[in-house]
Amino acid sequence: MKKIFVLMMTVLLCFSLTACGEKVNIDFPFELSNVKNIEMFHFVVTKEAEKKVITESEDIEGIYQLFERISLKDKATEPVAGGSVTSFRFNLSDGTSYEVIYSAVAVKSGRIITTDMEKDYFTSADIGGNWDNYDYEAVAVSEDELPILPREEDSSQDTDALQWDRIPMVMVNDKLYYDTGEESIVEGRCGVMDGKITSSVDASEIPTEDNQSNFGTGFEYQYGDDDTIEIFMNEKWIVFEHREVTKNQVRFGDHMVDADKLSKKTLEWLEWYNSLSEEEQLAVSSIPSDLHDGLDFAGTEDAESLATE
């Protein structure tokens, strides 16, 4: 669960959109003399995260002053997928710690959030480049050790209340048919249609009436073999199959996953992922582990080609 939260923090940092140009500075609530050491973390994929422990006083001072000098802006940025995250944990002499998380949005700019900030801010400083500036041993770390900053949860919003795009489906003769993503191989098709989709609900909803879909109206269909229907869409016949397993499925690209098997954080991640363009989706380097486990193609070559975080 914690590693999913780390991914979600990365997504939130990259997606943050704000309206004004307010400038902000980091004002550490502790003195430089109180810093025992600084743990610096870096990753693109969380399972490959590394850490350096900064112990030399000169280097600690350099990092401390770096953050006090930089100017932050309350500025909108476009979402980015596959960016790096560089984090700093200031371990203090009183046994507490203070964390700074930087998420890259371009080669030399990104967004920063700290322990005492309520939201993240844009900076044009190349914070991520500091990973290579300090000659300390880089060691692998577990995802549980990565800095995370808690954010207030809305307890009134449970998983069932989230609005995500479900897998395309249609109700015919009181039965739900799910999109298989497969094109029909039937040749010499009869020209007489068996029905037509006449009403629709939102993409986040489940059809409840005959000839109703969650992807639009006007599509004609014919009955197929093995309890399927074939719908004529975009000049192709797409196979939809009846299933008794679950009505609670969500879209992941061209695949479908049972929502009951996914955490709330993963459902939020899916809502973000499905909002991306195909090119942006291809740039995403990791997916939540429970999503990977729930994929219909798990165990296939497609599943192996995706890196889980």
For residue 92 the two structure tokens come to 């203090």
Check residue 272 and give its pLDDT. 78
> Are β-strands 169-172 and 175-183 bridged in parallel, bridged antiparallel, or unpaired?
antiparallel
Burial of 92 (0-12, 13-18, 19+ CB in 10 A): middle
From first to last of its 309 residues, what are the pLDDT tens digits of the chain? 444 444 444 444 444 433 345 678 899 999 999 999 999 999 877 778 899 999 999 999 999 999 998 888 887 765 554 568 899 999 999 999 999 999 887 667 888 999 988 888 888 888 988 999 999 999 999 888 888 765 444 433 344 444 445 678 899 998 889 888 788 988 888 889 999 999 988 776 788 899 999 888 899 999 998 899 999 987 889 999 987 645 466 667 656 677 767 777 777 787 777 777 777 777 776 777 777 765 644 333 344 444 444
Check residue 95 and give its pLDDT. 93
Q: Which residues fall within 8 angstroms of residue 192, CB to CB, at 6 or more apart?
A: 222
From 83, 66, 80, select the one nearest 32 (Cα to Cα): 66
Check residue 137 and give its pLDDT. 95
End-to-end CA distance of the chain: 11
Report the C-alpha gap between 276 and 147 in whole angstroms: 26
Alpha helices in the chain (DSSP H): 2-15, 57-69, 264-274, 278-283, 289-294, 301-304
The answer to whether 257 and 220 have CB atoms below 8 angstroms apart is no
Check residue 294 and give its pLDDT. 59
For the chain, give the number of residues.
309
> Are β-strands 199-200 and 220-223 bridged in parallel, bridged antiparallel, or unpaired?
unpaired
What are the C-alpha distances in Å from 80 to residues 16, 41, 211, 296, 309?
11, 20, 39, 27, 17
> Are β-strands 212-213 and 169-172 bridged in parallel, bridged antiparallel, or unpaired?
antiparallel
What are the C-alpha distances in Å from 158 to residues 153, 222, 265?
10, 39, 11
Q: What's phi and psi for 249, nearest 5 deg?
A: -115, 150
Q: How far is CA 31 from the centre of its chain?
A: 36
Check residue 165 and give its pLDDT. 54
The answer to whether 147 and 41 have CB atoms below 8 angstroms apart is yes
**DSSP helix/strand/coil, 269:** helix
Check residue 59 and give its pLDDT. 96
pTM here? Answer: 0.47
The answer to whether 50 and 102 have CB atoms below 8 angstroms apart is no
For residue 75 the two structure tokens come to 């500025």
Report the C-alpha gap between 164 and 80 in whole angstroms: 20
Report the C-alpha gap between 98 and 28 in whole angstroms: 9
Report the C-alpha gap between 248 and 160 in whole angstroms: 10
